[in-house]
Structure formats: structure tokens, C-alpha cells
Amino acid sequence: MAIDSIDSTDINSIVEGYAQGHFLMAEGADQPVEWYYTQRRTLIPLDERFRYPKSLRRVLNQRRFSIKINHAFAQVVDYCADRQSTWISAELKQIYFRLNQAGWAHSFEAWQGAELAGGILGIALHSVFIGESMFYRIPEASKYAMVKLVEHLRQREFTLFDAQLMNPHLARFGAYEVNDLEYQQLLYAGLSRKPNAAFWYLTLES
């Protein structure tokens, strides 16, 4: 459900919007960015409910990719937007860049040698991580990044991984939906607690 248009230069208001459970989208590459809200929220579990496809186990054991954080943020945003029908407009890209410069938005990246293979774009607010988008250019890279991101969030004692909207890909990782009341309770608890280390504190090599 669309809420209203936004002032893309007011980063404090944008962060506050995310802290209330809203998220940003555009209807197309050249369309205005608007706030959206959903009454059914999709979460990625950070406990034993998290799972991943068995086919990924071999990739993990081989340590086929290395993980870096915020190493190529702009490139991750561009790759996330590079699809036939995108909700990441040019205006929204600029918002993400400003959020990254302010320390809120982050890219969690899977690399194969010198090549950016896949990654996840998201926003970290206290112990809440809000997944905005993901992409891959080498098979299994985004799945690898997802597993390593969950490990990273667990290590830093994050309490909530908000994936916003359900899709079959997220369901393979154990994603589940909650109603609005439960989501708001989890969001409030997550925003009331700081993680044990900054999200970007460590660049991982795995």
C-alpha cells in the first residue's frame, strides 16, 4: 500500500520512516519514490528456523566466495536495479547513497576473486536489518551472501531481519510472515537494543 511521496533530501525523516516500518519503492525507473507499508511482513529467522537449500552446502564448504561489506556499495545498488522491471529508480539510488554516507545503508557482498558475484542491499537500524534487494551475477552468490549475512547478524546480536515481502526465493531460507501487531512489537524491541558491534565493523573473508 502506497503512503505518500517523500523528500529525498531529508535523511533523518527517511530513517524515521523505516523505523516506523515503512519502506521505499518506485513504480518504475522514472516514477516518483513513495512510502509503502504492508500488513503482512516477511521476516528471515535468525534462530534455528533459518535454513538453506542443500545444494548450497557444497558451495559453502568450498568457500567459493569471499564476503565484503560496503566495498562496492554503488555497484551493488546498480546491479540490484538492473532488471527488466525495477522499483529502484534513479531517485531511490540517490537516497540509498545518502543513507550509506550517513552510515545507515550497507551492501553485503559476495566476491569471486576480483569479480562482484552477488550481494544484498539493506539498512541497519540498531539491532534491526531491513533487506531492500539482492542480486547475483554468478550462480549461488546471492544465496551464499544470505547465509553469511545471517551469520553476521547473529554474531552481532541483531534481533530482527525484515525482508518486507515474501517470495519463493526467501521461503527457501525459512522466511515467514507475521501480522502487523507482532511485527511492530518485534520492530520496537529491535530498535530499543543496540547490536554488540557496528554492522560494518569487520570485512569478512570466507
Q: What is the mean pLDDT of residues 184-193?
A: 97
Q: Which three cell numbers stand for residue 101?
A: 554516507
| pLDDT band with cut points at 50, 70 and 90 for residue 54 | confident
205 HSE (CA, 13 A, CB side): 1
At residue 206, the pLDDT reads 44
Q: Which three cell numbers stand for residue 111?
A: 566476491
Residue 147 pLDDT exceeds 90: yes
DSSP states along the chain: -EEEE--TT-HHHHHHHHHTT-EEEESSTTSPEEEE--SEEEE--SSTT----THHHHHHHHT-SEEEESSSHHHHHHHHH-SSS-S--HHHHHHHHHHHHTT-EEEEEEEETTEEEEEEEEEEETTEEEEEEEEESSTTHHHHHHHHHHHHHHHTT--EEEEES--HHHHTTT-EEEEHHHHHHHHHHHHTS--SS-TTS-----
* Cα angle value 143/145/148 (rounded, 5°): 115
At residue 201, the pLDDT reads 53
At the second CATH level, the architecture of 39-191 is 3-Layer(aba) Sandwich (3.40)
Q: What is the mean pLDDT of residues 36-42?
A: 96
Beta bridge partners of 176: 43
| pLDDT band with cut points at 50, 70 and 90 for residue 90 | very high
Residue 146 pLDDT exceeds 60: yes
Name residue 2's amino acid: A
End-to-end alpha-carbon separation of the chain, Å?
39
Q: Which three cell numbers stand for residue 103?
A: 552510515
Phi first, then psi: what are they for 66, rounded to 5°? Answer: -110, 155
Residue 191 pLDDT exceeds 90: yes
Chain centroid to Cα 50, Å, comes to 16
Q: pLDDT above 90 covers what percent of the chain?
A: 82
At residue 5, the pLDDT reads 57
Q: Which of 108, 102, 80, 78 lies closest to 16, judged by CA?
A: 102
Q: What is the mean pLDDT of residues 46-62?
A: 93
Residue 67 pLDDT exceeds 90: yes
Residue 204 pLDDT exceeds 90: no
Residue 55 pLDDT exceeds 90: no
Q: What is the mean pLDDT of residues 59-87?
A: 94
Residue 202 pLDDT exceeds 90: no
Residue 70 pLDDT exceeds 50: yes
At residue 198, the pLDDT reads 76
At residue 2, the pLDDT reads 47
Mean pLDDT, all residues of the chain:
92
109, with CB counted inside 10 A (0-12, 13-18, 19+), is buried
More confident of the two residues 84 and 110: 110
